[in-house]
Amino acid sequence: MLKFIPFLFFILFSLSSCIEIVDDLSLKSDGSGTFKYTVNLSSSKIKVNSILALDSIDGKRVPNIDEIRQKIEQFVKTLDAQYGISNVKVEENYTDFIFKFQCDFTSVLTLQDGLKQSIFILSKEKSIPQLDHNWLSWDGNKLVRSIPEITGKKINEINNSDIELLKKGSYTSITRFDKTIDKFENQAAQLSKSKMAVMVKTDTYRLKENQDILENTIYLGLSKN
């Protein structure tokens, strides 16, 4: 279950089933923007500490905190070197196990390509089929988004033996624009008062059962703030 690929958040997916994720995308009209990704394991920190104290689990080696720190540093350097990516930052909290990642990008294409290339370089695997998936599409007026397949794969690997823990976990997807939103297709999404942001939220159990639940197509109006 614990597959030590050198991208922090996917290591942490394997450590706990009670996990809170916030996926926050800010997109400007020219296609550039900022991507933020937060993983919060504070409600499972006792379990995380107990797992990190082990040498292995399910036959897989468990990384220690120093190794995780090193992998984070490698990831930041690798992603920051990718075309169209800048200001890569990761905040690490090893007391409550809260980790915050963010970067700026010149287009949704450079964001996706930069993340894919960085994960592939650091994983040292010959092939990662989940990286073939494009989870963002932008034409200047319409954004189509889902969750990355590699994220979905890690969510599927979470042990569902404790359904209640899965139901306590959550995944929140937020999309922000510099124009007002005209309409969106996901009926579970919520529009902000400014009409310039939309949010979709679900629990980990429902996301594990149906990863299309966070998919959304968002159409913008003409007016800017």
Domain layout of the chain by residue ranges: 8-224
Determine what percent of the chain is predicted with pLDDT higher than 70: 78
Does residue 224 register a pLDDT over 70? no
Q: Determine the residue type at 112.
A: Q
pLDDT digits (tens, 9 = 90+) for 5-43: 333 444 555 555 577 889 999 999 999 999 999 988 888
193 pLDDT above the threshold of 90: yes
pLDDT band for position 71 (50/70/90)? Answer: confident
Q: pTM of whole model > 0.75? A: yes
Residue 2 — pLDDT band, cuts 50, 70, 90? Answer: very low
Is residue 4 pLDDT above 50, yes or no?
Answer: no
For residue 185, count other CB atoms closer than 10 A to its CB. Answer: 11
Which of 11-20, 125-134, 211-220 comes out lowest in average pLDDT? 11-20
The CB density around residue 25, as the number of other CB atoms within 10 Å, is: 21
pLDDT of res. 61: 78
Given pLDDT bands bounded at 50, 70 and 90, which one contains residue 207? confident
Place of tokens 């690929």: 5
**pLDDT at residue 152 tops 80:** no
Structure tokens at 39: 């993983």
The β-bridge partners of 33 are 27, 105
CA atoms within 13 A on the CB side of 67: 11
Calpha distance 206→163 (Å, rounded): 10
